[in-house]
A and B are shown apart, each in its own frame.
Chain A
Amino acid sequence: MSVQTKKQTTDNPKIIGRLLLVVVAMFGFGFALVPLYDVFCDVTGLNGKTGDKVNFETAPTVDESRLVKITFLASLNESMPWEFKPQQNFIEVHPGKPTTINYIAKNISSKSIVGNAVPSVSPGLAAAYFQKTECFCFTQQELKAGEEKIMPVTFIVDSELSDEINEIALSYTFFISKQNNEDLADNNLTAKSINTFK
């Protein structure tokens, strides 16, 4: 018996305490993965996530020798009762040159709806070189019943963009914003309702 006591290096409460610390730390780590993931995507430009608004102090130099084709895509999250499309399907631009194009959105429901556009660029590695100076995706957009709105985007393709990339696709998906009031949710507009007709 006593032999065992002497052998004992750390007592149980200490071990439990230390292990519980690890448990708490790993629980926190799970949550830390969320911002870490965003930082990682920002830094590497992976995942096609575009950055926030870019402001240029001086106008960037334009690379006249090169043309990059930008394709515009628009989609709606499943239950969003809007129409949404780009005014033109693509444009060819010189890197460094600010360009503005328009998307058009129309609310075809009988309620005022706040929407949220989430941009994505592919190939993912081009995302870091696709800089938006103006975009309807920076803020929430509200459309009254039946209202139509022109939504401009101004962007510059960084001249540092790798030579291997000559085409970039910019896509926006409009989601119903969580800021909409509850009766919208009851009005078969949120995705939850999809479940109920099972």
Chain B
Amino acid sequence: MADKVLMKGNEAIAEAAILAGCRHYFGYPITPQTEVAAYMAKRMPKIGGTFLQAESEIAAINMVYGVASTGKRVMTSSSSPGISLKGEGLSYLAGADLPALVVNVQRGGPGLGGIQPSQSDYFQATKGGAHGDFHMIVLAPDSVQEMAELTVRGFELADQYRMTAMILADGTMGQMMEPVSLDFKFRDPVEKPWAVTGTGMKREHNIINSLYLKPDLLEKTNFDRFERYKVIEENEVLYEEYKMEDAEICVAAFGIAARVAKNAIDQAREQGVKVGLIRPITLWPFPTKAFAAAAEKVGHFLSVELSMGQMIEDVRLAVNGKAPVSLCNRTGGMIPLPEQVLDAILSIHNGGAK
């Protein structure tokens, strides 16, 4: 196995992107994702790439739209308020079927909110994030290693399905330092005959566009796109199960919340409570089947989130009334302690919390 290097999560994203062949980065400063831009600003000029600090997140995402139109790998990163500004661009990327990688290192909201870690952009990320019928592939790392791996995977999925992949991380993931292996297995690159590269007077002109004035045509593009989404839902769901074999209580958590939850689960197990975890790694597509299967044998679900409870809605949909689903949360930049999660597990175990 290749050597590991000690890196911050945000830096791991940047280096993994470069290794994945991304040579264009556009961004606008915002805490807590600054290290991604700083890393790119240092590295890109040395390897013939482009780092450009845009005048706004709106400009940055549209620069991404430009490079994506030419068929090259391109990314931007930001944090919650900045992602809201990118919403317009995310919708256009979806409408024009362009691949891109967007990183959201979330902070507490709404509004200017705070700069501490949060997961309260779950709705925004998984339910489209802007106007129109569309989805993004949403990847939620829970370690620095996954920050790197999911960045590579994000580029590959984006290319394969011609859509935006979003890394949905949070301030802790971004700042945390862990050893990482950057020894990736890359998929073969995807042909992009649709890209605008200049006709060279050798082919018909290519057009990158999301305007369809005829409603039947626009409807068809949406139907076609959602056919592609079905393939993704079938083939690209990622999740981790932890101590689920004999579990009677199932915790649902992603990212930093999953790490806290594992700690609590270990403590609960020491007390003889049969509890496990399903950790969605793709938030869209959501591991609905895994939760539905768990609902056949588990008596109670507990969604642990750094928000007022957003993923819990998808857990409830998947569980489909077969078992109660409770919430254990902190928000606004606060992180639940393992003790809080343990208490929630124990009170379910003792027939409490609903």
Pairing of A with B:
no
